[in-house]
Amino acid sequence: MLDAKDKSSYQKGMANVLPLEKRALILQMMVEGSSMRSISRIAGVSINTVAKLLVDAGEACLLAHDELVRGVNSKRVECDEIWSFIHTKERNKGAAKNFTAEHGDVWTWTAIDADSKLIVSYLAGTRTAVSAEAFLSDLSGRLADRIQIDTDGHSAYAPTIKKVFRGMIDHASIVKIYANVKSGHKHYAPLECVGVKKDAECGKPDLRKASTSYVERQNLSMRMGMRRFTRLTNAHSKKYEQHLYALALYFMHYNFCRKHQTLGMTPAMAAGLTDKQHDMTWIVGKIDTAAPPPKPRGPYKKKSA
């Protein structure tokens, strides 16, 4: 967080920068599920200003997460993927205008520590073995010791986990068994779960503790906390970069600023990564630290008639 002197000197160098408190308010609204245009109206700034602040915050949070979330002492991690889309849903790309290769369905892979509820790693990509390997490779570099990983039955997990961790891990898969879909069943209505099948895919996982409940609950938090993840609305990401920046901001706030109700502290505090709860002005300070210093203004050049 910038003190009064640093804040004053920073604003002198960049006269068009928003006050720290307003930037913190805008970012807070982003992680509370407000849309970009509603933030623009409430904060009294242009939509371009909101979008630019998201870019700055996303880049700073990506760097901060990479630096701070390291050497995590975990015993059990749950992994899952959550669906969303960019610009156009995959099934509608053929009829869409001006779509590119980055448009369509995007899957966000998340890994949450079962004890501290810390989001250890995340990745926005496809639901393929390529994305699974990139995601799990990043996860392995952030862990301090051998752990148990619990996943669903997605086919990419078992072989990729064995490859990335070279067999030095305990992996359990949890497959839920649902009742047959009845006639007239609505697509988003919950199905009836009639059983759960647990298998040891690698090592010797404790199947009694094997679960994906925490990471699935985190999926709900993501849909509530980021407007672009809301189902059955016109809210969605238009560009991959904006989607990734929104994730980076959300997870940085979730890990270091938001007190978990069952823990009584932030996940980062529970994981031993920090000794205090931070606030959104701390993230704004990360933006200012990562920003390049303002360039001195050149001499005024009078236009010739």
Band the pLDDT of 304: cuts 50, 70, 90: low
The residue among 175, 207, 209 whose CA lies nearest residue 193 is 175
Model confidence pLDDT, tens digit, residues 258-267:
999 999 999 9
Span 245-253, average pLDDT: 97
Band the pLDDT of 10: cuts 50, 70, 90: very low
Instruction: Provide the token pair at 15.
Output: 């006269």
Band the pLDDT of 183: cuts 50, 70, 90: low
- Cβ–Cβ < 8 Å for 176, 154: no
Instruction: Provide the token pair at 277.
Output: 């709860």
How much is the pLDDT for 67? 96
How much is the pLDDT for 167? 85
How much is the pLDDT for 129? 96
How much is the pLDDT for 195? 83
Number of H helices, E strands in the chain: 10, 6
Span 1-26, average pLDDT: 64
Q: How far apart are CA 147 and CA 119, in angstroms?
A: 15
- Of 113-117, 264-268, 296-300, least confident by mean pLDDT is 296-300
Residues paired with residue 174 on neighbouring β-strands, in sequence order: 198
How much is the pLDDT for 6? 43
| Predicted confidence (pLDDT) at residue 282 exceeds the cutoff of 50 | yes
Instruction: Provide the token pair at 201.
Output: 């895919």
Q: What are phi and psi of 132, to 5 degrees?
A: -60, -40
- Cβ–Cβ < 8 Å for 89, 109: no
Q: Give the domains, in start order, of the chain with CATH numbers.
A: 71-274 (3.30.420.10)
Count of beta carbons in the 10 Å neighbourhood of residue 115: 16
Extract the runs of DSSP E, i.e. beta strands, from the chain.
76-86, 104-113, 119-125, 148-151, 170-178, 193-202
- Of 3-7, 38-42, 153-157, 223-227, least confident by mean pLDDT is 3-7
- Strand 104-113 relative to strand 148-151: parallel, antiparallel, unpaired? unpaired
Cα radius of gyration rounded to whole Å, the chain: 22
Band the pLDDT of 194: cuts 50, 70, 90: confident
Q: What are phi and psi of 204, to 5 degrees?
A: -130, 70
Name the residue with higher pLDDT: 190 or 147: 147
- Of 2-6, 130-134, 246-250, 284-288, least confident by mean pLDDT is 2-6
Computed over every residue of the chain, the mean pLDDT equals: 89
Extract the runs of DSSP E, i.e. beta strands, from 31-99.
76-86
Q: What is the largest CA-CA distance in the chain?
A: 82
Q: What are phi and psi of 63, to 5 degrees?
A: -65, -40
Band the pLDDT of 9: cuts 50, 70, 90: very low
Q: What are phi and psi of 77, to 5 degrees?
A: -120, 135
Span 225-253, average pLDDT: 93
